[in-house]
Structure 1
């Protein structure tokens, strides 16, 4: 009896472009069950129980016939779209760039796409964007340094903002430790006349960080003087704001030997203002920042700063959100606190003897 030949692709499937083959057609062509083909396509753990040869045959057929899963059908059957909504104040600042890098890599590894929207501190957008993202059937929301104006209604996580909203996990840095690290470092270098910066109102961390900075200064023996307390009172996220404020202060001839900046962006603005006034950092004035954004270690001088684990915070937010999506009935943490680290570089030095009180 002549041996029956193995069906070739053109025997079982047509690839003339009229209608692409579906999962059932590819399974029939391969002589396998649709479930087996689906497991390999979606890379589920059970697929590893199949032989390497079977998995290779399935992937070869998928590539040959340019098969694309019907994501709409999948989302309807599983009630998930594998998409996440990310809400940020704006996307040009170095802080957000570093957090997004960790967030993007974690979402990619988990097989999720995402939408990003910037509310620009507008109250109407703070309320509208979560609703618009839910209407697009995202599986969850990530609020980056953004308040939760209303109950999300779906799994949600906040970054750099501790909310008391039920059902939301907040991923934050230990602000108390961060404030202590920066002020203690300056105190050990002998600085007592320290210009301290409070962040702009649009940054949700500014109030808490300022309170903890004042407490840390007191504990470190640094007197907080009204003339050396500088508030960034405009919603501007560029070095220009701190530059303008420090330049104005320099014209008043108020003396100080160090600057404890609200973040790295304001620290860079302060250093430029000092340079334009003819002062050198750190010989005349030391500067310490907060965040450790990408340019901090490459500025001149290299910036001493309190490093927030920004990329790790983004990745951890994704981990917590996916856990909430996949296990809605499980118990999830209300807050995850991550530790900062002092990065001592070139912008801080011992106070000059002649500059001491």
Structure 2
């Protein structure tokens, strides 16, 4: 009865109250390990992320956590910092702890696993996995259309790190969207984040390299919000105004994006929803429930929010 079993409903209310009173008196706590041995279910999920920090991973995790808690599941989180040997080691560690399934966030998986698996922002899907992926084509179009409508043609791009799962598909989507719009991307205005983590300092360093190159640009589209925030700092330090001299667009819409000065215009990646969808999909597979689609790739559409970091092309642009 204390476990919430449906059969407990047949127990008279008076008897139930006596049981609960005794449990409170003796500080009874259910033995989860014993219950899992009896049911052959650990009620535990493994979650793999590159790092646990403010921004992308934290928002995805919040969606995963909410859904798992609703279903009575616990989870382990491991962060591998994009080191392949850690990914393999942690995968074995999670499986040894009898997790019933795994959610891999921005984590490359080379081989099929022995438990149900859902990937968030992956682009190599081993057999049997489901991938929750953003519509990068639409994301690129939303950002470039906004800047083009404001009159910008000289647009600098900051690409993601070489190891990030989204870097290549996002860059290809930007190139394709620019081509469809007759926009020429200057290769000298393309920089790449260099280093681990999503920190502002990586975007700051990339923007400094752009400025030191001496090429003029009136807008900048960054791989993520952290890079965009770092870019704004570098621009201001160089004596430029945002958006008076350079408009800046980010990607993700992390919690701090709206509280910058100016607020950051950005592609809204529904990270909480993607995490929640990954968790509910995984539980559907574990519990044998029907899923909304039989496809192994589920695409989620982005949004776009305009704030103070973008404005019309300046007269001197």
Instruction: Report if TM-score (shorter chain) is over 0.5.
Output: yes
Correspondence for 1:152 among 94, 113, 117? 113
Alignment partner, residue 34 of structure 2: 73
Aligned partners of 1:109, 1:183: CA distance in 2, in Å?
39
Alignment partner, residue 140 of structure 2: 179
318-327 or 67-76, which moves further after superposition?
Answer: 67-76
Correspondence for 2:225 among 223, 243, 264? 264
For residue 336 of structure 1, report the CA deviation from its aligned partner: 2.1
Q: Which has the higher contact order (CA 8 A, sep 6+)?
A: 2
1:185-209 per-residue CA deviation (whole Å, 9 max, x = no partner) reads 1111110000012110121100000
> TM-score under structure 1 normalisation?
0.83
For residue 252 of structure 1, report the CA deviation from its aligned partner: 2.8
Q: Please tell me whether residue 210 in structure 1 is matched to residue 171 in structure 2.
A: yes
Aligned partners of 1:328, 1:134: CA distance in 2, in Å?
22
Residues 52 and 176 of structure 1, relative CA distance in 2, 3 Å threshold: farther
Q: Mapping of 1:322-337 within 5 angstroms?
A: 322-327=283-288, 333-337=295-299
Aligned partners of 1:207, 1:124: CA distance in 2, in Å?
22
Q: Is the 8 A contact 1:194 1:222 kept in 2?
A: no
Q: Please tell me whether residue 90 in structure 1 is matched to residue 38 in structure 2.
A: no
Aligned partners of 2:141, 2:12: CA distance in 1, in Å?
57
Cα RMSD between the aligned structures? 2.0
Aligned partners of 2:68, 2:160: CA distance in 1, in Å?
30
Correspondence for 1:251 among 209, 212, 222? 212
SS, match of residue 315 in structure 1: helix
Aligned partners of 1:219, 1:54: CA distance in 2, in Å?
71
SS, match of residue 273 in structure 2: helix
Aligned partners of 2:248, 2:61: CA distance in 1, in Å?
27
Give the length in aligned residue pairs: 316
Aligned partners of 1:163, 1:302: CA distance in 2, in Å?
35
For residue 153 of structure 1, report the CA deviation from its aligned partner: 0.8
For residue 65 of structure 1, report the CA deviation from its aligned partner: 2.9
Alignment partner, residue 155 of structure 2: 194
Q: Please tell me whether residue 350 in structure 1 is matched to residue 317 in structure 2.
A: no
Aligned partners of 1:94, 1:123: CA distance in 2, in Å?
22
Q: Please tell me whether residue 169 in structure 1 is matched to residue 130 in structure 2.
A: yes
SS, match of residue 202 in structure 2: helix
For residue 45 of structure 1, report the CA deviation from its aligned partner: 4.4
Residues 317 and 49 of structure 1, relative CA distance in 2, 3 Å threshold: farther
Correspondence for 2:270 among 309, 318, 321? 309
1:229-287 per-residue CA deviation (whole Å, 9 max, x = no partner) reads 11224334211122112112212321000001111111111111100000000011000
Structure 1 segments unaligned to the other structure (5+ residues)? 1-36
